[in-house]
Amino acid sequence: MFDRRRRQKLHEEAIRYAANGWPVAPLAVPHRGGCPCGKSCLDPHLVGEVVRDGVHAARVWPEPARRGRAQSAGDTTGWGIALVTEWFDAMELPPQYGAVLHHQLKESCPTAMAPAQRRWLFFVVQGSVPREQVVEAGGVLRSGAAGWVPAPGTWMEDTGRIRWLVHPYLTEWRPYQRRDPIDLIFL
């Protein structure tokens, strides 16, 4: 069943995100043909409610399904945290753009990576990057209250473990604010 220490760690991480204004939701991640929600899901999905600013933090993590073919004893890979793109955009880019952009932005933009797919995630101020520009580069822009991305630390069969390259605490929990030369001169 769901390891108690792992559950506590996820709960604490969710509270930390929510306390810093990053909306979160529990994420069910199918593994080895089963989903921890107890259904036959193929793709990761949100479970339960979105938590904002720590509200309902005690109810963030649903208990694993007692029935169904979820995890075997000791397997804790089926649950994760979803970062809900309610007040920021998550820009997912392929490696030819992600590596260069990460090098340019350095520590100014919360950035994550899914190493197995070599996909980069940049957390930017909502509406600051045109969707068409991201799509043209072969990327995906997740935005709005219905959008979400798996939080770094989540392990999925197709991506491996997603990891932070620039954790949000390094940017004071703020997404990247795009700037142009006028901003640099007058601000």
Q: What is the pLDDT of residues 43-62, one digit of tens each?
A: 889 887 666 655 444 344 44
Instruction: For residue range 66-118, list pLDDT tens digits in order.
Output: 333 334 333 445 888 999 999 999 999 999 999 999 999 989 999 999 988 88
pLDDT of residue 69: 34
- The β-bridge partners of 163 are 113
pLDDT > 50? residue 178: yes
Q: What are phi and psi of 11, to 5 degrees?
A: -60, -45
pLDDT of residue 8: 85
What share of the chain has pLDDT > 90, as a percent? 46
Average pLDDT of the residues in 18-47: 87
Helix-strand-coil split of the chain, %, nearest 5: 25, 25, 50
Instruction: For residue range 142-160, list pLDDT tens digits in order.
Output: 999 889 999 998 888 878 8
Q: Cα torsion for 11, 16, 18, 21, to the nearest 10°?
A: -170
Q: What is the 3-state secondary structure (H, E, C) of 141-158?
A: EECCCCCEEECCCCEECC
pLDDT > 50? residue 25: yes
Torsional class of 135: left (φ above 0), alpha (ψ -120 to 50), beta (otherwise)? alpha
The residue behind tokens 């204004």 is 21
pLDDT of residue 56: 46
> What does the domain layout of the chain look like in residue ranges?
1-84, 85-187
Average pLDDT of the residues in 14-33: 89
What share of the chain has pLDDT > 70, as a percent? 80
* 179: its two tokens: 């700037």
pLDDT of residue 2: 53
153 contacts 81 by C-beta, under 8 angstroms: yes
52 contacts 60 by C-beta, under 8 angstroms: no
Cα–Cα distances (Å) from 104 to 5, 38, 44, 109, 111, in that order, read 38, 43, 31, 10, 12
pLDDT of residue 187: 47
pLDDT > 80? residue 11: yes
Residue 139 or 7, more confident: 139
CA 122 to chain CA centroid, nearest Å: 10
Whole-model pTM?
0.82
